[in-house]
Amino acid sequence: MEILYLVIPCYNEEAVLKETSKRLKIKMEDLIKKKKISKDSKIVFVNDGSKDNTWNLIKEFHQKDKLFSGINLSRNRGHQNALLAGLMTVKEEADMVISLDADLQDDIDVIDQFVEEYYNGFDIVYGVRSSRKKDTFFKRNSALMFYRMMEKMGVQIVYNHADYRLMSKRTLNGLAEFKEVNLFLRGMVPLIGYKSTTVTYERAERFAGESKYPLKKMLSFAFDGITSFSIKPIRFILFLGLFIFLSSIIILIYALIRYFKGAVILGWTSLIVSIWALGGLQLFAIGIIGEYIGKVYMETKKRPRFIVEEYLNEK
Ligand code: UDP
Ligand code: MG
């Protein structure tokens, strides 16, 4: 029987952890009883530098029951880094790992199907939301726009899949080869390869606590996703520049004709418009290029993506 680890990043989640751990424990014990997974399987909470009581709760769970383990990061590094920290820390002990959020918005009853597909020979199982009925109007539409844009930019991601997925040990070893600092896991995992499949589920509302992804974080996450995976924006600027240059030749010809016809005082309007338009375009272009240079800067530093302060795990 194979060992399953659940990896759950937690940031200020004291309001949900008691209930989450209870529900997950029932699920895991059921799977162990049905002989679907080994009894060495574990639930691993990754504390992402929470300011509240989260780490104490995790330590308490671990003390009472060795089914629970905990990883304490040295400080808050954000969801993607915390998740990666969990995955990389447990990959030696587990045969398969499922990542999920602490608020259990992702239906844990499909874990059975994840494991089933793993035994069917799939290395990656993506959890895909069947609908977004429970999301707010804004979140639903902004998410749709995000996926459309990613598609246009040529980034291969699984539609309506967040970070609820199963990965096999060799997939995690593959992921470990990706050394980038700008993390966008849902874009990286398809690049690893291996056989994958999807399982659909209904996403629920957060049962307690509040979202740790306010609009600002959401936008910056989407932006990172695009600029970490596609150079299309830069190419777009290249073509825009070329187009404007070609247009300027036409304008030159036009200006010469006007000159020889003797109407030279005219043209203040076109001048002022082109000064503003070109200035704006140049700034925009420099901004996008700067964004990529910033990424290159961060990557060349090769700073650690996370630092584990403590790892509680007992066999
Ligand atoms: N999270 C984290 N570090 C952060 C922000 C969030 O580990 O800096 C975790 C959080 O505890 C949760 C998951 O990431 O388990 C997803 O966050 P949330 O449920 O708030 O996002 P939403 O579902 O609203 O998109
Ligand atoms: Mg959530």
Instruction: Look at the alpha carbons of 82, 84, 85, 86 in this order and tell me if their dihedral is positive or negative.
Output: positive
- Cα(265) to ligand 1 centroid in Å equals 62
Instruction: Look at the alpha carbons of 260, 266, 271, 273 in this order and tell me if their dihedral is positive or negative.
Output: negative
Tell me which of 54, 163, 212 to substitute to probe ligand 1's pocket, judged by most ligand atoms within 8 Å of the beta carbon: 212
3-state secondary structure of 157: coil
Full-model pTM: 0.80
User: Residues with Cβ within 6 A of ligand 1?
Assistant: 9-11, 13, 48, 76, 78-79, 82, 101-103, 105, 211-213
Using an 8 Å Cβ cutoff, are 306 and 86 in contact? no
- The sheet carrying 42-47 orders its strands as 196-201, 124-129, 161-168, 96-99, 4-10, 42-47, 68-73, 308-312
Q: What is the pLDDT of residues 237-286, one digit of tens each?
A: 888 888 888 888 888 888 788 878 876 666 777 787 788 888 888 888 88
229 pLDDT band, cuts 50/70/90, is confident
pLDDT for residue 266:
67
Q: Which ligand is nearest to the CA of 206?
A: 2
Contacts of 93 (CB under 8 A, 6+ apart): 3, 5, 40, 42, 313
Top-confidence residue, 116 or 233:
116
Q: What is the pLDDT of residues 286-299, one digit of tens each?
A: 888 888 888 888 88
pLDDT for residue 133:
72
Least confident span in 42-46, 113-117, 119-123, 303-307 = 303-307
- Cα(131) to ligand 1 centroid in Å equals 20
Using an 8 Å Cβ cutoff, are 97 and 167 in contact? yes
Q: What is the pLDDT of residues 91-134, one digit of tens each?
A: 999 999 999 999 988 999 999 999 999 999 999 999 998 877 77
pLDDT for residue 194:
94
Q: Which ligand is nearest to the CA of 52?
A: 1
Least confident span in 47-56, 61-70, 121-130, 234-243 = 234-243
Of all protein residues, the one whose alpha carbon is nearest to atom 25 of ligand 1 is: 213
| Atom number of ligand 1 nearest to Cα 9 | 7
Contacts of 30 (CB under 8 A, 6+ apart): none
